Chain A
Amino acid sequence: MKIAIPVENKTLEANVSTVFGRANYFLIYDTEREESVFVDNLAQSSAGGAGIKAAQTVVDQKVNALLTPRLGENAADILEAAGIKIYQAINASARKNIDAFGDGKLSLLDEVHAGFHEHGDN
């Protein structure tokens, strides 16, 4: 299966990004072939709705699961609509997360934040 992980750098040793929508890259990892591909996150410089554009990127990579420490509401809606399972990443490297996922140690993400797509009205 294919999994996506938001990462800060283009290596397996890179830390999982603390944000999803504005992560630097997405690691797309094929668990059977043990192959990794790093995809630029074009949503990073978005004025708004970065989570949606980032989710679109992940969906287009046809992954089965996303490992992320947190996720906004809009992005979660899109990933769910695409049938992608969302798991809670641990605060460690991408490789450690892949291993933990393989060992069945990651749980499904149960908390989705409301997002930061306000307009600074106050």
Chain B
Amino acid sequence: MKIAVLSGKGGAGKTLVAVNLASVAKKSTYIDCDIEEPNGHLFFKPQAVREEEVAVLIPQVNHDLCDGCRRCIDFCRYNALAYIKERLIVLAELCHSCGGCNLVCPQNALAEIERPIGKIQTGISDPVTVKTGFLNIGEASGVPIIKQLLAGLETTADSLTIIDSPPGSACNVMESVKEADYCILVAEPTIFGVHNLNLVYELVKLFNKPFGVVINKCLETENPAEKFCVENNINILARIPFDRELGLLNSNAEIAVRKKEEYREKFSALLNTVAKEVRHEAAAYSQR
């Protein structure tokens, strides 16, 4: 079972929900896909960390063979190549590693070389396996890191994987939810929160993913996020109260369910609710 946790903005509570959900399971894998600013590892403080590099392929020019025909330049949709002073130059940050320039070159003047863009760390915070993606500062796209993070995951019914998505609804987020069985949308109970909830709501509908909402930082007063869910017939999985103690634990990078039984019960209940939803979806899907 793979569950993605996402929200339209940063600071809504994705990592709070993802980290605590992963921690109430008997055994789980937590994957931090928020590669621009991963912070799940600060909570888990994983041990026995292994590190692997993530690289993308970019073209390398053999200037002796290049005759300046410019077919590669015309082919590249991202304009990552230019021909200046009778020399082909590669703008590495713009390259999307499609390999097309290499294919269209009639002179075989292009080869592919690896360019590192980040790394993945894997460690243990018993009983959670913690995988974290880091995008190097200044890089434009972390999609290749997310692909590598999610490649070759176990997919048995009783294994639990929690995917902590990046904020927003762009390419990074889409890549992180592609393989998910279920999406949890975390929202704040404000008008701004509703705007951001709507972004990810549109996204999960587009991807045809089963989903539910967790409303974080709930007060007794008016709750626009709840109103939005009711109006759009969206399942509210849980309401997390605006709780000073929870906030304090979280801001000290503590995992709340490891500190207090009350929180363990609440997040266990949320995990059970989600597991039921996933089973229900699987059953509904097999009947279709």
Contact = CB atoms under 8 A, between A and B. Distances in A.
Interface of A: 43, 46-50, 52-53, 55-56, 59, 74, 78, 81-83, 117-122
Nearest to A84: B84
Contact of B166 (A53, A118, A121): A121
Nearest to B172: A121
> Interface of chain A, helix or strand or loop or mixed?
loop
Contacts of B167: 122
B36 interface: yes
A41 B140 CA distance: 25
B171 A121 contact: yes
Q: Which 5 A-B pairs have CB atoms at the shortest separation, nearest pair first?
A: A49-B79, A52-B79, A53-B79, A120-B170, A48-B78
A49 B78 contact: yes
A55 B89 CA distance: 13
Interface residues on B, range: 20 to 34
B176 to A, nearest CB: 12
Contact of B170 (A46, A74, A83, A122): A122
Interface of B: 10, 36, 73, 76-80, 82-85, 89, 91, 93-94, 140-142, 166-168, 170-172
Contacts of A78: 82, 84, 89
A52 B82 contact: yes
Given A49-B94, A52-B91, A120-B170, A82 B78 contact: no
A82 B140 contact: no
B91 to A, nearest CB: 6
B94 A122 contact: no
Contact of B36 (A46, A82, A121): A121
A52 B170 CA distance: 24
A81 B73 CA distance: 17
Contact of A52 (B94, B141, B171, B172): B94
22 contacts: A46-B79, A47-B77, A48-B78, A48-B94, A49-B78, A49-B94, A52-B79, A52-B82, A52-B94, A55-B82, A56-B83, A78-B82, A81-B84, A82-B85, A119-B140, A120-B168, A120-B171, A121-B142, A121-B166, A121-B168, A121-B171, A122-B167
